[in-house]
Structure 1
Amino acid sequence: MGKDSLIQSKTKAFAIRIIKLYKYLTETQNEHVMSKQMLRAGTSIGANTRESINAQSKLDFINKLNIALKETDETQYWLELLYETNFLNEKQFQSIYDDSKEIAALLVTIIKTTKKNLEK
């Protein structure tokens, strides 16, 4: 599996986890503000990586993945706030946060590799 298809599957699986976490937070924890922001940012990661498939150029491809990377960082911020305000326990937080770090690392690698290939 190439890095491009790997990032597609990882971000889609992550979006599904984010949606399930959002449902848990709103239905069980009665938390609606931070969880909505987390939902928006967390599902946007996969949407932007999906958009990158049809990028009009390598620069457009890089731009889409940079947006996905920024959304990953924003998602991490909301997860941190949810954890630090006791809406998520450590196990819940660490599991999904680790997934977000893996996605960020993959995105950085793909972006760097694509930029390097542009210089050739």
Structure 2
Amino acid sequence: MKKDLKDRTKKFALTVIDMVENIPNKPAGNVIKRQLLKSSTSIGANYRSALRGRSKAEFISKIGIVEEEADETVFWLELLNDSGLVHQSLINPLLDEANQLTAIFTSMGKTAKTTK
């Protein structure tokens, strides 16, 4: 599962990178583009960091960051969708994947907190 999630989060980041090229070069578009790129690429980077955690507490802390970045990505995708800056057909698959990743990492964090 670790390798699958590493690959999945990397693929997600690459897909977001491709999609942001469709965001217009307007002040609002530029803010969303920058924030979306930061949060979406952070998911995979922080997940890899969590896997290298030296303790369970460090893993839990870092998985919490991954969860936050995934949820932030959902926010920026929703904002982009609601703004109409990019066609929904480009956003909807990313929004679905971001929601799934958020759920996965939320569950992973909860499980790690309750197991010894």
Of 100, 108, 116, the match for 2:114: 116
User: What displacement does 1:72 show?
Assistant: 0.9
Q: State the 1:107 CA deviation.
A: 0.7
Structure 1 stretches of 4+ moved >6 Å: none
Question: 1:68 corresponds to which letter in structure 2?
Answer: V
Shift of 1:49: 0.1
Counterpart CA distance in 2 for 1:113 and 1:5 is 19
Question: Does 2:44 align with 1:46?
Answer: yes
Q: TM-score, normalised by structure 2?
A: 0.89
Q: Distance in 2 between matches of 1:10 and 1:79?
A: 18
- For the residues of structure 1 that align with 2:101 and 2:55, how far apart are their CA atoms? 22
Give the drift of 1:36. 0.5
Distance in structure 1 (CA, Å) of the matches to 2:14 and 2:34: 14
* Uncovered stretches (5+) of structure 1, i.e. residues with no partner: none
Alignment correspondent of 2:57: 59
Q: How many pairs are equivalent?
A: 113
Aligned to 1:102: 100
Counterpart position of 1:5: 3
- Counterpart in the other structure of 2:17: 19
> Gapped runs of 5+ residues in structure 2?
none
Q: Which AA in structure 2 matches 1:71?
A: E
8 A contact 1:7–1:106 mirrored in 2: no
User: In 2, Cα distance between the equivalents of 1:71 and 1:53?
Assistant: 16
